Amino acid sequence: MKPGISLKPVKETEQIMADSKEPTGAVNRETVDWDSLRWSKHKRIVNRLQARIVKATKQGKWGKVFALQYMLTQSFSGKVLAVERVTSNKGKTTPGVDGLLWQSNRSKEMAVRTCGRGATSPSRSDGS
């Protein structure tokens, strides 16, 4: 032990539990209220991730680039803005490869929930 340093015993205490019944932790994204989304917040998140991707690319940090791209494509903000962009452009009345139109808020919410790994390849009906 170094001179001048004294060790004091730590007094054990009980953990204080919150009485609140409100959920904590990650945000529940099971329900998406399309009309109440804060678009400026989601655009800011996506723009920040895109800027970080550009910076990592210029620095040649390819592992960081791939990690940030994954974060962007899996993020709730990225998915919401992707669906919003597809449903508000000139071709919004043309069905995609899945043959579905996302015109109602409910269908847009379902599209956000189903976006993700493996969701981009449509199921084939011919068995192959």
CA 105 to chain centroid, in Å, comes to 19
Q: What is the pLDDT of residue 95?
A: 78
Q: Where are the domains of the chain?
A: 36-114
Structure confidence at residue 117 (pLDDT): 63
Query: For residue 124, what pLDDT is reported?
Result: 43
CA distance 2 to 107: 67
Nearest to 78 by CA among 36, 37, 45, 111: 45
pLDDT for res 125: 45
Token pair for residue 100?
């579905």
Each residue's pLDDT, cut to its tens digit, for the chain (128 residues) gives 566 666 666 566 565 555 555 555 555 555 678 888 899 999 999 999 999 999 999 999 999 999 999 999 999 999 999 888 888 877 777 877 777 788 888 888 888 888 776 554 444 444 44
Separation of CA 83 from chain center = 13
Amino acid identity of 116? G
pTM reported for the whole predicted model? 0.64
pLDDT of residue 56: 97
pLDDT score of 102: 84
